[in-house]
Amino acid sequence: MTGDAALGDSTRCVKAVAGDHGPGEPMLRGPVPAAPYRLGPEDAPQTDTYARASHPGWRDLERALALLEGAAGVRVVGSGMSAAAVVLRSLVSAGDTLVVPLDGYYQVRALAADLAARSGIRVREVATTAMEGPEIDDLLAETPGRTVILAETPSNPQLDVVDLRRLASRCAASGAVLVVDNTTATPLGQRPLELGAHVVIASGTKSLSGHSDLLMGYIASSDPDILAAVERERLHSGAVLGPFETWLAMRSLGSAGLRIERQCATAAAVAGMLVHRPEVTGVRYPGLVDDPSHAVASRQMRRFGPLVSFRLGSADEVNRFVAAGDLLVPATSFGGLHTTVDRRARWGDDVSEGFVRLSCGIEDTDDVLADLDRALTAL
């Protein structure tokens, strides 16, 4: 991305999806059909023969995402969970150790447990706040075989932050592979590969595509062997992104800078308001100066994300809070156009019954603040 480092994020997003086009050609390619592809002579090389293996839409989107992540390559897949599954099945085998966050996305822990039962790997669950501490040092020192560490930062839903430079340095010294889930931050907020990670995984379903109308995941790396292994696993498992979803993601990516800028600005304002509300406790947002994660986050993140977490007194209070708001939508996904509220205990997360994960949308910031004030006052 030579020459683009000084550009703003919205400019970078627009440039990333513009691609190469000549006079009379559309600036954004339309949806690419899945099949059939007309075959060339049998003795001649051909790039595209069947869309499960490759097609021009993937290449456009992967090129754009690689520019944003600062990666040599990206491979798109059908969802964020597909990204986790494809990477872990590519990198971990019998006798290896896989470290996953104890307090991260629960489906990743379920995937790890399944891999342990089926493949004979060892799984260790480590809290996000311990990912850079003595527990990791001891684990790296004592573990035979390959170790793969999957860090989620900021963690979902509690928004703890891992010092990626520090963890990457420890992985490099021991030969471990560091995979970072960058879903919450997005590449506009954090670029883990530049901090020493080997692989980035993310759900593009959320902030990057941002319209809540598609499922998408991707894997970014600058290691050619990892990219080749991921591509092989994607082909064999069929964990692919559909051609129309590919086009929707490419269409959406150009506006990601604008959307994420508004979401993060609103999240910062919401967090600043909530810390002064008597109805609320335990406000977490990495952008707050007093947040436990702020020091690390301010060193490695350019933006602090759209998510704010806090606690109300009970599940009933959360339900009344949502009902009293005009802009608050109860939903479990995040990063879309609408401000959403998710009571995470309903999904089995190890949090209090009144724990709330708030995802700020792109509504006007003052309107979101006013709506939150009404909803809290009504409690």
pLDDT at 3: 55
Q: How many CB atoms lie within 10 A of CB 27?
A: 10
- Cα 29 to Cα 32: distance, rounded to the nearest angstrom: 8
- Cα 94 to Cα 105: distance, rounded to the nearest angstrom: 24
Helix (H, G, I), strand (E, B) or coil at 330: strand
Give 264: exposed, middle or buried? Use CB within 10 Å, 0-12, 13-18, 19+.
buried
Q: Compare 29 and 4 and report the one with higher pLDDT.
A: 29
Residue 152 and residue 23 in one domain: yes
Residue 355 and residue 298 in one domain: yes
Helix (H, G, I), strand (E, B) or coil at 190: coil
Q: Does residue 114 contact residue 81 with C-beta atoms inside 8 Å? A: no
> Is the model's pLDDT at 341 over the cut of 60?
yes
Residue 317 and residue 223 in one domain: no
**Within-domain flag for 198:** yes
Q: Does residue 47 contact residue 59 with C-beta atoms inside 8 Å? A: no
**Within-domain flag for 4:** no
Mean pLDDT of the chain: 94
Average pLDDT of the segment spanning 275-303: 98
Q: How many CB atoms lie within 10 A of CB 196?
A: 17
Which tokens in the block code for residue 225?
């062997």
Average pLDDT of the segment spanning 340-358: 96
Cis? peptide before 157, omega within 30° of 0: yes
Average pLDDT of the segment spanning 185-214: 97
Taking the CA atoms of 111, 168, 358 and 348 in sequence, report the sign of the dihedral they define.
positive
Average pLDDT of the segment spanning 53-65: 93
Residue 260 and residue 249 in one domain: no
Cα distance between the two ends of the chain? 50
Range from 131-135, 217-221, 300-304 carrying the lowest mean pLDDT: 131-135
Q: Which of 227, 253, 279 is the last residue of a domain?
A: 253
- Cα 224 to Cα 209: distance, rounded to the nearest angstrom: 26
Q: Which of 193, 221, 253 is the last residue of a domain?
A: 253
Range from 45-49, 228-232, 292-296 carrying the lowest mean pLDDT: 45-49
- Cα 100 to Cα 103: distance, rounded to the nearest angstrom: 9
pLDDT at 183: 97
Q: Report pTM.
A: 0.95
Residue 227 and residue 281 in one domain: no
What whole-number percentage of the chain has pLDDT above 90? 81
pLDDT at 2: 45
Cα radius of gyration (the chain): 21
Residue 209 and residue 227 in one domain: yes
**Within-domain flag for 64:** yes
Residue 244 and residue 299 in one domain: no
- Cα 355 to Cα 333: distance, rounded to the nearest angstrom: 16
**Within-domain flag for 2:** no
Q: Tokens 């470290």, residue?
A: 99
pLDDT at 1: 40
| Overall domain count for the chain | 2
Residue 297 and residue 188 in one domain: no
**Within-domain flag for 3:** no
Which tokens in the block code for residue 306?
């759209």
Q: Does residue 227 contact residue 73 with C-beta atoms inside 8 Å? A: yes
Residue 86 and residue 183 in one domain: yes
Q: Compare 369 and 142 and report the one with higher pLDDT.
A: 369
Residue at 340: amino acid letter: T
Taking the CA atoms of 249, 224, 108 and 297 in sequence, report the sign of the dihedral they define.
negative
**Within-domain flag for 26:** yes
Residue 261 and residue 361 in one domain: yes
CATH code of the domain containing 57? 3.40.640.10
Q: Does residue 320 contact residue 328 with C-beta atoms inside 8 Å? A: no
**Within-domain flag for 1:** no
Residue 307 and residue 355 in one domain: yes
Phi first, then psi, for residue 149 (nearest 5°) are -110, 125
**Within-domain flag for 74:** yes
> Is the model's pLDDT at 76 over the cut of 70?
yes
- Cα 362 to Cα 37: distance, rounded to the nearest angstrom: 40
- Cα 187 to Cα 192: distance, rounded to the nearest angstrom: 8
Average pLDDT of the segment spanning 148-173: 96
Q: Which of 218, 253, 288 is the last residue of a domain?
A: 253
pLDDT at 23: 80
Range of the domain at 279: 256-377
CATH code of the domain containing 352? 3.90.1150.10
Residue 342 and residue 245 in one domain: no
